[in-house]
Amino acid sequence: MEGSKRTFEVVFVCTGNRYRSPIAEGLFRAATRELPVRVRSLGTLPIAGEPAFEEAIEHARKLGVDLSEHRSRSVEGADLSQADLVVGFELNHMAKAVVDAGADRRRTFLLPELVDYLEQVGPAHGDDDVVARAARAVEAAAELRAQHGPAPPQELADPAGRSPKEGEQAVEQIAGLTSRLVRLLFPA
């Protein structure tokens, strides 16, 4: 990486930006509060300004994240070409980010896929700053994917409209993966 960027930008993308991506954004932001990280979330649907679903707000509250002020934003018109990392929950989220918003394919992953690759390559270490190390970790994950071909899709289904138990399980999975992602990108 030439020079050193001041921040590491992570963008989470889901369908409506009202459940999965806002929860992941909130958890990631809380865990990286003291780091030079910019995190945001978007949806693939052309809706903007809608609040998070009530069940998402409640699940997030239990995890210590306040989504009461969250309003949905669409990937339409967004420029993700400079994002250091774009994380989707379904293949169509990745495709929309790459095709419609210019996200770099090498820096665009499904959440479970990325965590798996990062766990295989291990966290990047070095004397440089945390932003450069995180960028190297993403680059190593992309190299591993290129060497072995894409893994079978590990999509995380939309919990909206599902039973409370299914919603809770989905949020627990998102929370666990997001926590692991933070530790792998920014090891203590």
The pLDDT tens digits for 96-137 are 999 999 999 999 999 999 999 999 998 777 777 999 999 999
Q: What is the 3-state secondary structure (H, E, C) of the chain?
A: CCCCCCCEEEEEEECCCCCHHHHHHHHHHHHCCCCCEEEEEEECCCCCCCECCHHHHHHHHHCCCCCCCCECCECCCCCCCCCCEEEECCHHHHHHHHHHHCCCHHHEEEHHHHHHHHHHHCCCCCCCCHHHHHHHHHHHHHHHHHHHCCCCCCCCCCCCCCCHHHHHHHHHHHHHHHHHHHHHHCCC
| pLDDT exceeds cutoff 50 at 25 | yes
Does a structural domain hold residue 28?
yes
**CATH number of the domain enclosing 73:** 3.40.50.2300
Distance between CA atoms of residues 177 and 159, nearest Å: 16
Q: State both tokens at 57.
A: 């707000």
CA 72 to chain centre: 15
Q: What is the pLDDT of residue 1?
A: 41
Q: Is residue 185 part of a domain?
A: no
Q: Which domain holds residue 93?
A: 8-180
Asked whether residue 3 is domain-assigned, the answer is no
Question: What are the residues whose beta carbons fall under 8 Å from the beta carbon of 178, sequence distance 6 or more?
Answer: 24, 27, 28, 31, 111
Residue 2, domain member (yes or no): no
Domain count, the chain: 1
Task: Please check whether residue 35 lies inside any domain of the structure.
Answer: yes
Query: pLDDT value at position 32?
Result: 97
124 inside domain: yes
Q: How confident is the model at residue 188 (pLDDT cuts 50, 70, 90)?
A: confident
39 within 8 A of 28, measured Cβ to Cβ: yes
Q: Which of 67, 53, 64 is nearest to 31 (CA)?
A: 64
Tokens of 53: 């679903």
Which pTM was predicted?
Answer: 0.94
Q: Say if 128 falls within a structural domain.
A: yes
- Asked if residue 165 is part of any domain, the answer here is yes
* 4: confidence class by pLDDT, cuts 50, 70, 90: low
66 class by beta-carbon count within 10 Å (0-12 exposed, 13-18 middle, 19+ buried): exposed
